């Protein structure tokens, strides 16, 4: 584990391990990690205006380098687009976290990852604190079956992957001998990496040790799980009135992983159900801060960041039971194959 990060977490844990609840007397925590795929100022700008207006500060990922023509997601704006860069910088000034979703829309070798990280720091003014792997990029770190730790879930994962878009793909960000290796860079600069996704609004139910370190994946300082809300339909299903109320009553934690480019805004008009649910949620006594700020706080509440083996096994088992026999399980499992 990165020494500086480890020492800071341990010091915080010693002083604050008895803390309960959230800062400012808030009863639950809710935030969003927005995957940048297909995002433009036009299709996510209105979403962020709403979030800003109601007081939600979340995390927006970006690509610091321009798109390569042979990659996918060519519609996505990057920090090389001046209008989009201005939009992202404005969000940053407003208190939104800007994070990394890989450095571009296609595979990156180590030198490209390094260049992208430096470009991020140059344009945003600081290095990213959180990161999520992008789709099928080869430099993805501990991706594919390596997202799991237990043998049987890994095999299940490979079966699903073989039948889907991840067939034949290799992910080598953690493979020292690969030209796509950047694990040491990740460990030095990135504090939090997103991993598994659950169809559950309260992550305390499935991953109470959040964030956590997994000693079997030494290039990642801390992992965080997230809640399934990949597009506007699944987002609204997850933050339904009943689920909002349950998150509040359980004093829970929610980090939705979504793509705000996927149906939240059409022709400049926000999805009405999404807007209603966000306004309803924002009126509750929640702590609405970006992902890294929330995870920093959660770290201070524990004396040990190593995930207990039983909990790690349970998270893997939960996915193992999600076989593609039903539409619900297909969605949940496939959401962890390439998203
Ligand atoms: Zn992506």
- Cα torsion 262, 266, 267, 268: sign: negative
Distance 107 CA to ligand 1 centre (A): 12
pLDDT of residue 162: 62
pLDDT of residue 151: 74
Distance 81 CA to ligand 1 centre (A): 18
Distance 300 CA to ligand 1 centre (A): 30
Q: Is 91 helix (H, G, I), strand (E, B) or coil?
A: helix
Distance 223 CA to ligand 1 centre (A): 17
pLDDT of residue 32: 98
Domains of the chain: 7-15+22-317 (3.20.20.370)
- Cα torsion 108, 112, 118, 123: sign: negative
- Backbone torsions φ then ψ of 198, nearest 5 degrees: -125, 145
Question: Ligand 1 (ion): which residues have CB within 5 A?
Answer: 35, 37, 134-135
Judge if the upstream peptide bond of residue 211 is cis by omega within 30 degrees of 0. yes
Query: What's the pTM?
Result: 0.89
Q: What residues contact residue 278 under an 8 Å CB cut-off, 6+ apart?
A: 50, 51, 54, 56, 239
pLDDT of residue 10: 42
Q: What is the mean pLDDT of each run of 10 residues along the chain (339 residues)?
A: 47 41 95 97 98 98 95 94 98 98 96 98 98 94 85 71 67 97 98 94 95 96 96 97 98 98 96 98 97 97 87 78 37 48
The angle at the Cα of 29, spanning 26 to 32, to the nearest 5 degrees, equals 145
Name the strand (E) or helix (H) holding 262: none
In contact, 155 and 115? CB cutoff 8 Å:
no
Distance 171 CA to ligand 1 centre (A): 14
Distance 258 CA to ligand 1 centre (A): 10
pLDDT of residue 256: 98
pLDDT of residue 138: 95
The one-character DSSP state at 136 is T
pLDDT of residue 30: 98
């Amino acid at each position: 584990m990165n020494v500086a990060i480890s020492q800071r977490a341990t010091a915080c844990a010693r002083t604050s391990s008895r803390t309960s609840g959230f800062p400012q007397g808030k009863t639950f925590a809710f935030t969003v990690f927005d995957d940048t795929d297909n995002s433009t100022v036009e299709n996510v700008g209105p979403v962020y205006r709403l979030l800003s207006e109601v007081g939600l500060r979340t995390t927006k990922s970006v690509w610091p380098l321009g798109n390569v023509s042979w990659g996918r997601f060519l519609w996505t704006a990057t920090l090389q687009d001046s209008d989009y860069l201005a939009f992202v910088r404005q969000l940053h000034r407003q208190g939104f976290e800007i994070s990394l979703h890989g450095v571009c829309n296609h595979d990156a070798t180590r030198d490209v990852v390094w260049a992208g990280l430096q470009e991020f720091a140059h344009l945003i003014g600081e290095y990213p604190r959180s990161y999520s792997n992008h789709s099928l990029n080869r430099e993805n770190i501990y991706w594919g079956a390596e997202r799991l730790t237990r043998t049987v879930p890994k095999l299940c994962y490979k079966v699903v992957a073989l039948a889907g878009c991840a067939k034949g793909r290799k992910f080598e960000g953690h493979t020292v001998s690969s030209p796509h290796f950047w694990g040491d860079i990740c460990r030095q600069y990135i504090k939090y990496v997103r991993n598994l996704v659950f169809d559950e609004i309260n992550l305390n139910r499935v991953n109470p040790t959040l964030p956590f370190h997994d000693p079997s994946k030494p290039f990642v300082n801390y992992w965080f799980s997230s809640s399934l809300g990949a597009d506007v339909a699944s987002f609204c299903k997850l933050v339904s009135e009943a689920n909002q109320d349950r998150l509040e009553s359980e004093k829970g934690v929610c980090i939705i992983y979504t793509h705000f480019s996927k149906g939240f805004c059409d022709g400049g008009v926000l999805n009405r159900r999404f807007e209603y649910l966000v306004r309803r949620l924002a009126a509750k006594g929640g702590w609405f801060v970006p992902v890294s700020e929330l995870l920093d706080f959660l770290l201070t509440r524990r004396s040990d960041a190593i995930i207990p083996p039983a909990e790690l096994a349970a998270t893997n088992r939960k996915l193992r039971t999600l076989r593609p026999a039903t539409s619900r399980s297909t969605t949940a499992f496939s959401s962890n194959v390439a998203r």
